[in-house]
């Protein structure tokens, strides 16, 4: 059976939720080892990784230098592990998070092999689908024989595995000469709003012309805050002056792929749908039952948003 090395993304305390999805991809390819590179006091993510279904072993790679997510420090260790640990691995995967995108190409270059970015579907052991042109085209790529397969995995394309596993956690060595030319200074103070960033938020609530006015848009913000979502808007709402342009979602605004997108009073013109075509689940609330958004929404609710939104908040409160 093929050997798969999956590089964990974590912050020293918790495991990135994308790892459970990346495992779903990885276990289609072989026997999955999750490597957690961590500082001596940061091994908590190892236990979290050990619980994921489909993980057969967790490699705990402890080093003083591994407390910070610096690609230049981690890549030589990953390359060493990938090439030499118990005879080496057939696959090296990382999630398509900013961590995975930062570190894995550096590993690929050290190993002298190409990388598949944003793997979204496994066709066979060496053939995969991936999106190009901002998801407007899907292409099939094949990794040539005789070299390890390196890929970042598009996490939105896979369902998270369960947490009933009990993989052993073993210490692993990945001796490499570590550079001192890069230093981690820490997360920056977030300036401004406490709301999540529209571009990367897992949940987004967006309003359109149907919201009716700048004042009415408060109802959108309120729902968003209730479920910890970022706020977006259609071009019509922006053009009507309800909200500033940086909140625009769509062809001429932001292209986003949240897990949950709630479109309120948005008709769903093709220009808007282009911006959310990769969203996990689209909910549409609109009084016009013939609006095009209902053709693409996973769940549609026809009715007056000023009645339905308060109801929705109440239902969410009741549901906890």
Cβ count within 10 A of residue 232: 34
In the stretch 75-94, what mask flags binding to other proteins with x, by CB under 8 A? x-------------------
Q: What is the CA radius of gyration of the chain?
A: 22
CA pair distance 85, 82, nearest whole angstrom: 6
Q: Which is nearer to other proteins, 1 or 185 (CB)?
A: 185
Helix axes 71-84, 98-111, angle to 10 degrees: 50
DSSP 156: G
Is 144 a residue that touches other proteins (CB under 8 A)? yes
Considering only 127, 168, 218, 225, the residue that binds other proteins (CB under 8 A) is 127
In the region spanning residues 55 to 74, those forming contacts with other proteins, defined by CB under 8 A, are 70-72
Is 181 a residue that touches other proteins (CB under 8 A)? yes
**Binding residue count for other proteins, defined by CB under 8 A:** 96
Q: Output phi, psi for 218, to 5 deg.
A: -55, -35
Q: Which is nearer to other proteins, 142 or 222 (CB)?
A: 142
Among the candidate windows 19-27, 38-46, 50-58, 281-289, which touches other proteins by CB under 8 A?
281-289
3-state class (DSSP) for residue 319: helix
Token match 């999540």: residue? 196
Considering only 142, 175, 218, 225, the residue that binds other proteins (CB under 8 A) is 142
Is 164 a residue that touches other proteins (CB under 8 A)? no
Is 22 a residue that touches other proteins (CB under 8 A)? no
CA pair distance 37, 72, nearest whole angstrom: 13
Nearest to 232 by CA among 282, 159, 188, 158: 282
Q: By the 8 A CB rule, do 37 and 8 touch? A: yes
Token match 């093709």: residue? 270
Considering only 31, 212, 221, 306, the residue that binds other proteins (CB under 8 A) is 212
3-state class (DSSP) for residue 245: helix
From the CB of 316, what's the least distance to other proteins, in Å?
Answer: 7
Token match 């359109």: residue? 208
Is 175 a residue that touches other proteins (CB under 8 A)? no
Among the candidate windows 24-32, 58-66, 84-92, 280-288, which touches other proteins by CB under 8 A?
280-288
From the CB of 280, what's the least distance to other proteins, in Å?
Answer: 6
| CB neighbour class for 301 (10 Å; exposed up to 12, middle 13-18, buried from 19) | middle
Considering only 86, 168, 175, 184, the residue that binds other proteins (CB under 8 A) is 184
Considering only 44, 65, 83, 141, the residue that binds other proteins (CB under 8 A) is 141
Is 125 a residue that touches other proteins (CB under 8 A)? no
Q: Which is nearer to other proteins, 81 or 167 (CB)?
A: 81
From the CB of 227, what's the least distance to other proteins, in Å?
Answer: 7
CA pair distance 65, 139, nearest whole angstrom: 38
Is 277 a residue that touches other proteins (CB under 8 A)? yes
């Amino acid at each position: 059976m093929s050997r798969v090395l999956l590089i964990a993304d974590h912050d020293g305390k918790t495991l990135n939720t994308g790892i459970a999805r990346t495992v779903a991809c990885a276990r289609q390819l072989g026997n999955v080892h999750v490597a957690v590179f961590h500082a001596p006091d940061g091994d908590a993510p190892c236990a979290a990784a050990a619980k994921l279904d489909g993980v057969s072993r967790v490699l705990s790679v402890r080093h003083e230098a591994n407390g910070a997510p610096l690609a230049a420090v981690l890549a030589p260790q990953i390359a060493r592990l990938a090439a030499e640990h118990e005879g080496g691995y057939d696959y090296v995967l990382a999630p398509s998070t900013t961590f995975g995108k930062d570190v894995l190409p550096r590993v690929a270059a050290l190993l002298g092999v190409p990388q598949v970015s944003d793997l979204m579907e496994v066709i066979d052991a060496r053939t995969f689908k991936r999106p190009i042109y901002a998801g407007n085209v899907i292409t099939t790529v094949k990794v040539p024989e005789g070299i390890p397969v390196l890929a970042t995995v598009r996490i939105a394309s896979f369902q998270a595995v369960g947490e009933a596993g009990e993989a052993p956690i073993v210490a692993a060595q990945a001796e490499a000469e570590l550079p001192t030319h890069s230093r981690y200074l820490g997360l920056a103070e977030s300036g401004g709003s406490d709301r999540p960033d529209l571009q990367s938020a897992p949940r987004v609530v967006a309003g359109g012309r149907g919201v009716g006015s700048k004042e009415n848009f408060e109802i959108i913000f309120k729902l968003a805050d209730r479920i910890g979502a970022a706020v977006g808007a259609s071009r019509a709402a922006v053009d009507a002056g309800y909200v500033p342009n940086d909140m625009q979602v769509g062809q001429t605004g932001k292209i986003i792929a949240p897990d949950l997108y709630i479109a309120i009073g948005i008709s769903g013109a093709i220009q808007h749908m282009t911006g959310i075509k990769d969203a996990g689940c689209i909910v549409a609330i609109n009084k016009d039952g013939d609006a095009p958004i209902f053709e693409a929404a996973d769940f549609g609710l026809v009715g007056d948003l000023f009645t339905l939104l308060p109801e929705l908040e109440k239902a969410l409160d009741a549901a906890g």
